[in-house]
Amino acid sequence: MDTAARPGGAPPDAPTGPGGGSAGTGGMPGGGSAGETAQTLERGLRLLHLVADAPGGLTVTEAANRLGIGRAAVYRLAGPLTGHGMLRRDEAGRLRLGAGVLHLARRAQPLLAEGALPALRRLAEQAGATAHLTVVEGGEGVALAVVEPSWTSFHVAYRTGARHPLDRGAAGRAILAGRAGSAAPVASSGELQAGAYGVAAPVLGVPGLEASVGVVALAPLDAEVVGAQVRAAATAITTALS
């Protein structure tokens, strides 16, 4: 953060499905009905979410138990997802997220930033401080969108793309609070940069998104007043992105 004032695979012999149906292009059952195709898609998406929520990955048996389906069905789901890079098998054979998910996430980031900008602009003007949307990437907080106030003489210059640990600074600690189910604002002082003050709140209720919205300033902030403002911005962003 700059604080300079201005005048960031499934085995090839995996069993076939019930009734002898084999996996077709993209893993969809050959000759299956639209309902069967929709069910396969839903199960594939559920599998991705289950793996995403398991830091140590999942075995095929664990995935089958959680989905309530057979191991053979998990192999049929995992095959195309692995082929497209959404899943991978580690050395122990556990299912983990693949690099393809990161690619999709990066492609979605401009859409997230665009959806958050109106709330960030309003927050920056209300608080008279630099507003930012911070998301989790690679276990760190990353500033995805930044808006500076138009009427102040001095304010923090915060770069889009700036990274920081989640356990330091209001933005990261708000994300950790959101993981624990708390929507309360978090305040910080000098944790990332000496002389910088921050207040942030988690953005909750957007599936697949871990984020916070907050402000950073060169002078102490009224935690009660600004806290209410960042909470309102977080709610507005949830509405815009949901």
DSSP character string of 186-227:
EEEESSSSTT-EEEEEEE-S-TT--EEEEEEESS---HHHHH
* Among the listed residues 127, 118, 45, 143, the one whose alpha carbon sits nearest the alpha carbon of residue 87: 45
- Average pLDDT score over residue span 187-192: 95
Query: 104 versus 90: which is more confidently predicted?
Result: 90
Tell whether the model's pLDDT for residue 102 goes beyond 80. no
**DSSP symbol at 150:** S
What is the pLDDT, as a whole number, of residue 1? 56
206 pLDDT above the threshold of 50: yes
- Banded pLDDT at 32 (limits 50, 70, 90): low
Q: What is the DSSP letter of 157?
A: -
* pLDDT attached to residue 34: 85
pLDDT of 16:
39
Q: Does the pLDDT value for residue 27 go beyond 60?
A: no
Helix (H) or strand (E) holding 134: strand 130-137
Q: What percent of the chain shows pLDDT beyond 70?
A: 87
User: What are 55-76's pLDDT values in tens digits?
Assistant: 899 999 999 999 999 999 999 9
CA-CA-CA-CA torsion sign (20, 26, 32, 37): positive
Residue 176 has pLDDT above 60, yes or no: yes
Give me the mean pLDDT over the 217-239 stretch: 97
In order of 90, 130, 212, 217, the CA distances from 150 in angstroms are 50, 10, 22, 14
Residue 139, pLDDT score: 87
Mean of pLDDT values over 148-176: 94
pLDDT at 9 (0 to 100): 42
Q: What percent of the chain has pLDDT over 90?
A: 70
